[in-house]
Amino acid sequence: MSGILDDFKDAFAKRNNGLIQLIWLNVAVYVVMLLCLITLTVFFKKSDVFENVLSYFSLTPAMGTFLFRPWTILTYAFFHSVNPIAHLLPNMLMLYWFGAIIQEFLGSRRLINLYILGALFGGILALAAFNFIPYYQVALSTTIIGASGSVMAIVFAAATLMPDYTFFLFLIGPVRIKYIAFFFFLISLAGAIGTNAGGGIVHLGGALLGYLYVKQLQVGRDWGTPLDATFDFFQNIFKRTEKPTIKVAYRQKESTYSSTPAGVGGGYPDDDEVDEILDKISRSGYESLTKEEKQKLFKASQK
């Protein structure tokens, strides 16, 4: 168990590790929920208490309920049905496959922004649909949980950014992700009039957000900027004194190196330069670096 906890801590200590952090967070919430349900059911025979507590993290479209639980517009995206585990597993697999594309080309920070924005937009669309469309108003008391809206935002962002990127699917072969995204869109559209209409609407909201996010990013507008500012604010408050590995290594050997240039392009970069480069990777991905910045990062890693 201690090994698992160490892995969990390491995942959140590493820079530019948003994909694994999101997966770990969802899995951790699921495990805690499962243990709570088993404890309350087996030892206290109070499974109804578990359902009551879960309702404070699930999104309920009824405005009378939502206004007293506004945080559920986000928390619902980190909770999944405990039984069956099939609710969690497909979401995490899709998050891993498509999230890797976003993290590689747009950076870890934008991946996290997409997850959060997908949850918010999907939740807002569900609130609007259930409160203003007569067909859905009979089910205002329904509850919505799951990361599907956030995951759909990431799926459609990846398909918009890299439509011809190919996955090799078991028993099918190579398939471009734009066709995979379209298939999920059809499923979500059909689900919007089924027994899980809330989930279907959230999926559609997330998909639309993912598409629009990349389209806006391509013309120079980043919808995640307010989230970046929020993250930076809290990071400055709770900033750790420990530096990332690359900067620790630099400091430890700093005294053994002179300012003499090492190879083409001058001497070793200082701490501030390394900080700026690593922050740029976190915001925009490795490919956003200039040739000179890549050289500086490489030199710092050699110390």
The DSSP code sequence of 55-118 is TTTSB---HHHHTT-TTHHHHGGG---SS-GGGHHHHHHHHHHHHHHHHHHH-HHHHHHHHHHH
- Range 60-64, long-range pairs (CB < 8 A, 24+ positions): 60/140, 60/141, 60/142, 60/143, 60/144, 61/126, 61/127, 61/129, 61/130, 61/131, 61/136, 61/139, 61/140, 61/142, 61/144, 61/198, 62/130, 62/140, 62/141, 63/127, 63/131
Residue 92: CB partners within 8 Å, gap ≥ 6?
23, 26, 27, 147
Can you give the pLDDT at residue 210?
97
Query: Is pLDDT of 291 > 80?
Result: no
Q: Give the H or E element holding residue 199.
A: helix 197-218
How many Å apart are CA 279 and CA 274, to the nearest integer? 9
pLDDT in tens, 70-115: 999 999 999 998 876 778 999 999 999 999 999 999 999 999 999 9
Out of 8-12, 42-46, 100-104, 250-254, least confident range? 250-254
Mean confidence (pLDDT) of the chain: 84
- Copy the structure tokens of residue 243: 């530096």
How many Å apart are CA 203 and CA 190, to the nearest integer? 11
How many Å apart are CA 210 and CA 150, to the nearest integer? 9
Name residue 144's beta-bridge partners.
59
pLDDT in tens, 223-282: 999 998 888 888 778 765 444 444 444 444 444 443 434 344 455 677 677 777 777 776
Query: Is pLDDT of 221 > 50?
Result: yes
The sign of the torsion formed by the CA atoms of 292, 294, 296, 302 equals: negative
Can you give the pLDDT at residue 2?
61
Can you give the pLDDT at residue 258?
38
Can you give the pLDDT at residue 224?
92
Please report, for residues 17, 89, 207, the alpha-carbon distance to residue 1 in angstroms, rounded to integers and kept in the order given.
Answer: 22, 21, 37
Residue 231: CB partners within 8 Å, gap ≥ 6?
109, 112
Confidence tier at 67 by pLDDT (50, 70, 90): very high
Average pLDDT estimate for 123-150: 93
- Copy the structure tokens of residue 263: 């190879």
Contact between 227 and 235 (Cβ < 8 Å): no
**Smallest Cα–Cα separation from 76: which of 118, 35, 34?**
118
Can you give the pLDDT at residue 138?
86
Contact between 177 and 91 (Cβ < 8 Å): no
Query: Is pLDDT of 130 > 60?
Result: yes
